[in-house]
Structure 1
């Protein structure tokens, strides 16, 4: 299906309506033209090798609903995901951390680890909203702090000093557990950053519900790194990614607060109702 960039384009959080449009001025920032929907390759991963053992599902099971997003173990006790995955989409309220699990390496009826969160921390200034604005997407990032460190190999995030490897020719792998394939991860294996607008990367990494919070992986001389996380589906072809440089403050001191998460403005202990 052909799509055009218009001033009234609406975004979806990997499947649901959520944003006002990209302004026409933002189109001028694009480096490349996106591929057609028919040309997008989607690869199903059926592997127990790294990094797939450390990429998994952020699962919520409440009294009346269940939900899932994607997350990545980036340190023995830290899971990186999208902040909007930590809120009830209808009420905008955080859901109990006790109903949240990170199931790493989901592969059909198997998994590599069942990891229990102690709390979750969202980027400073993030506020859940039914229709978030594009300018706020770069805050759509969160860390889940685990009760016990995992023995799985973490997938490191791209460090600022490694950013020099990124060019307009760089190809990324966008990974996630999609609603249409909940029990095996899928990857868009060679997608690109088309441009930057409102501190957010616009990419041709196609997405759908469930893939929110999934990693945008890039190969470096030191191995795979997480360069971004999936935030929003724009259309059948495009998506919005929170880039690595937006997380630096969040990564600086990822600890559970002494007080209740609900009492701290930048800290939440919750999960979303179906991405």
Structure 2
């Protein structure tokens, strides 16, 4: 933990030259190609961001599936995915059949850096989404430091339409944790971090938290390299996920978006 805190101090930096700010995707033209990103509504009083990686599978952050009040898993019947949610309407609405969090994720674990490393989950929808406008995204291995990536997210102050940050940067990688210059806020948990080209965007990470180091803001993500293992496990399990944990670290201050 001490080593990672020092690395955060070294690599947390202001946005690099050439990076772009947030663009709100308010029209159909703006949103074209991003309809597989949606708002994941949870228990009627909170939301995260999720993205389709198959017609019936949404990739999101594991901590999104837990009640921040009780620490218990949210019942699958209280989870709804709103694909392409924009200005009060979605391209498709689906409930959840079941979900699975990473087997090494523990929601009340005291080491929150360790929590970020496994903060990944799959939500299986009650019906697949098979619409020409919605194309699930492929996943890829986590990028190296210095790689330019993009993020599409919903957040507390922009919950009615997705926002795109087309260019931000991987500042550092420590194991499965990426330190990013991408702009995130509450609600952006689970937002897909994309390798933007050539070809179709590929998901390489998920937003897990925002961090503040020496007064500078960065975001933290987990790589998605275990997603195929989760897919296989989901086919063998029943119910909503596994138990888990999360608390404070010393050093850097972490806040769940």
**Residue ranges of structure 1 left out of the alignment (5+ in a row):** 1-6, 8-20, 267-273
Q: Contact 1:156–1:226 at 8 Å: present in 2 too?
A: yes
Among 185, 188, 195, which residue is 1:211 paired with?
188
Among 152, 155, 160, which residue is 1:175 paired with?
152
Query: Which string of whole-angstrom CA distances, capped at 9 and with x for unpartnered residues, describes residues 65-94 of structure 1?
Result: x11000001100000000000001122111
**Closer, same or farther in 2 for the Cα pair 1:137/1:173, shift >3 Å?**
same
**Closer, same or farther in 2 for the Cα pair 1:123/1:167, shift >3 Å?**
closer
Distance 2:156 2:243 in 1: 31
**Residue ranges of structure 2 left out of the alignment (5+ in a row):** 245-255
Cα distance, 1:51 vs structure 2? 2.9
Structure 1 residue 87 corresponds to structure 2 residue 69: no
Per the alignment, in what secondary structure is the counterpart of residue 59 of structure 1?
Answer: strand
Distance 2:230 2:126 in 1: 18
Cα distance, 1:125 vs structure 2? 1.5
| Residue in structure 2 matched with residue 46 of structure 1 by the alignment | 26
Q: Contact 1:71–1:79 at 8 Å: present in 2 too?
A: yes
Cα distance, 1:33 vs structure 2? 4.0
Q: Contact 2:139–2:202 at 8 Å: present in 1 too?
A: yes
| Residue in structure 2 matched with residue 202 of structure 1 by the alignment | 179
Among 26, 37, 42, which residue is 1:55 paired with?
37
**Closer, same or farther in 2 for the Cα pair 1:131/1:182, shift >3 Å?**
farther
Could you tell which deviates more after superposition, 242-251 or 121-130? 242-251
Distance 1:82 1:212 in 2: 6
Per the alignment, in what secondary structure is the counterpart of residue 93 of structure 2?
Answer: strand
Structure 1 residue 221 corresponds to structure 2 residue 201: no
Structure 1 residue 137 corresponds to structure 2 residue 116: yes
Per the alignment, in what secondary structure is the counterpart of residue 116 of structure 2?
Answer: helix
| Residue in structure 2 matched with residue 232 of structure 1 by the alignment | 209
| Residue in structure 2 matched with residue 18 of structure 1 by the alignment | none
Q: Normalising by the residue count of structure 2, what TM-score does the alignment of the two structures yield?
A: 0.81
Cα distance, 1:57 vs structure 2? 0.6
Q: Normalising by the residue count of structure 1, what TM-score does the alignment of the two structures yield?
A: 0.76
Count of matched residue pairs: 236
Distance 2:240 2:158 in 1: 33
Cα distance, 1:22 vs structure 2? 4.3
